[in-house]
Copies of this chain bind each other. A is one copy, B any other.
Amino acid sequence: MSETPRKRGRPATIDTQSAMHAMIELFRDKGYAAVSLDDLSEATGLSRPSLYRSFGNKLSMYVGAMNAFGQDAAELALPKLEADGALEQALTNFFDAMLGIYYRDSDIAPGCLVFGTAPSHADEEEIKARLNFGIEQVDSRMRARMLQAFPDSEPARIETAAYMASNTLIAFSARAKSGATRSALSAMGAASARTIVMLLQAD
């Protein structure tokens, strides 16, 4: 409503977006507990009090990183899943897009912030809730995409197929962190996509 309500005091010089991405990288490398506020301060270039002002305490920094990571992943990979065309190709492309996020270079694999590091800190209720949200999100998107491709399938079969696709994605994070190569997981994703479509086509 108000035009340019021009803020009053000293203008902010902090780039919260790039700071958030630096925090994401740190958190998915080392998890929540192993990252100190000094680590975050050094990685973002912001002083510790600045971090508090911009993002709250350490827990809310981590939860904020989960949200930002989830949004980035959704914007980058979901269009591949929901693209028109054959389901098998869509699934394969979706897996590959997610692997593009899970791997930094060809070698180093920080994996998934949500599926990779959150389970380790799920005794914090806020983290557990956000982890659950991420899993439910993937499950429901998968279900919707499969129902779109096979509208006449039994609901139980759709659900199983969706769960198997989600489980593949969830396991990718652990496998990436354990040292699996990106190409190996890409092949695993393509084979899983093929199998899941075969299941849906079976009569």
Interface residues of A (CB under 8 A from B): 29-34, 111, 115-123, 128, 131-132, 135, 156, 159-161, 163-164, 166-168, 170-171, 173-175, 177-180, 188, 191-192, 194-195, 198-199, 202
> A130: shortest Cβ distance to chain B, in Å?
9
Bound complex: CA of A118 vs CA of B191, how far in Å? 26
Contact between B120 and A31, CB atoms less than 8 A apart: yes
Bound complex: CA of A163 vs CA of B178, how far in Å? 15
Contact between A191 and B119, CB atoms less than 8 A apart: no
Bound complex: CA of A126 vs CA of B122, how far in Å? 23
Copies in the complex: 2
List B contacts of A179 (CB < 8 A).
128, 132
List B contacts of A132 (CB < 8 A).
178-179
Q: Which residue of B lies closest to A109 (CB)?
A: B122
Q: A167-B168, A170-B174 are in contact. List 20 more A-B contacts (CB 8 A).
A: A32-B120, A34-B120, A111-B122, A116-B120, A119-B120, A120-B120, A120-B121, A128-B178, A128-B179, A131-B178, A135-B175, A135-B178, A160-B195, A163-B188, A166-B171, A167-B192, A168-B171, A170-B170, A171-B171, A199-B199
Which of B117, B123, B195 is within 8 Å of A119, CB to CB? Answer: B117
> A70: shortest Cβ distance to chain B, in Å?
14
Q: Which residue of B lies closest to A163 (CB)?
A: B188
> A107: shortest Cβ distance to chain B, in Å?
13
List B contacts of A173 (CB < 8 A).
119
